[in-house]
Amino acid sequence: MSLRPNRPGRNVAVVDVFDSRRPAPAPILGVDVGTGTSTPVPATALEDGHWTSPALDAATGSTTITVVVHRAGVPDVTSRTPWTVGETPGRTHAALVSTAPARAGLRLLAGLLGAAAVALWGTVLLGPRRRARRTADAVVGLAPRTADPVPTRAGDIR
């Protein structure tokens, strides 16, 4: 069985009732489901032994889910299962500063800082290559590299 959404307030119980004996002692006429000390309410048959009971009220903490199975000509079978109902969704962790979501201005600032970090990273990686090329040209005594000269006469072509 399961209780969904397993939060305080209204829940839906889904119960699977299967025959463990062959042949079955009698056909199942109905199933009732309840939580805590409440009176079990009739469940609706789905298919293949699945039953659902909507609108069960549950409180936070430990409780008991009671399932009563009715069969023709056989005494009712009652099953009580301990169950823990979760807390209302809310703060999931202790707040160091705040649990409020980041505002648009803070997200924009974070994006700009990220872009600046990427640009700085690229400069650091590409900077040594440019300096090394200039240093090598100075050692050999070459003029700084420029585009190849454009030939002006047919005799200038090599």
Whole-number pLDDT of residue 105:
84
At 45 the pLDDT is 93
In 3D, which of 16, 78, 99 has the Cα closest to residue 52?
16
Under a CB-based contact definition with an 8 Å cutoff, are residues 65 and 34 in contact? yes
Main-chain dihedrals φ then ψ at residue 23, nearest 5 degrees: -75, 160
What tens digit of pLDDT does each residue of 101-114 get? 778 888 899 999 99
Query: Which pLDDT belongs to residue 10?
Result: 87
Domains, the chain, ordered by start: 2-85 (2.60.40.760), 106-145 (no CATH)
For residues 45 and 106, give the distance between their C-alpha atoms in angstroms, rounded to a whole number.
52
Question: For 78-94, how does the pLDDT look when each residue is reduced to its tens digit (9 = 90+)?
Answer: 999 999 988 766 655 66
Q: Express each pLDDT in 23-49 by its tens digit.
A: 888 989 999 998 888 888 999 999 888
pTM for the model stands at: 0.54
The C-alpha atoms of residue 83 and residue 62 are separated, in whole angstroms, by 6
Q: Note the pLDDT tens digit of each residue in 50-71.
A: 999 986 788 888 989 999 999 9
User: Which residues, 6+ apart, have CB-to-CB distance to 45 below 8 Å?
Assistant: 31, 51
Amino acid at 91: R
All residues at 6 or more sequence positions from 2 whose CB lies less than 8 Å from its CB, including other chains: 13, 14
Q: Which helix (H) or strand (E) holds 153?
A: none
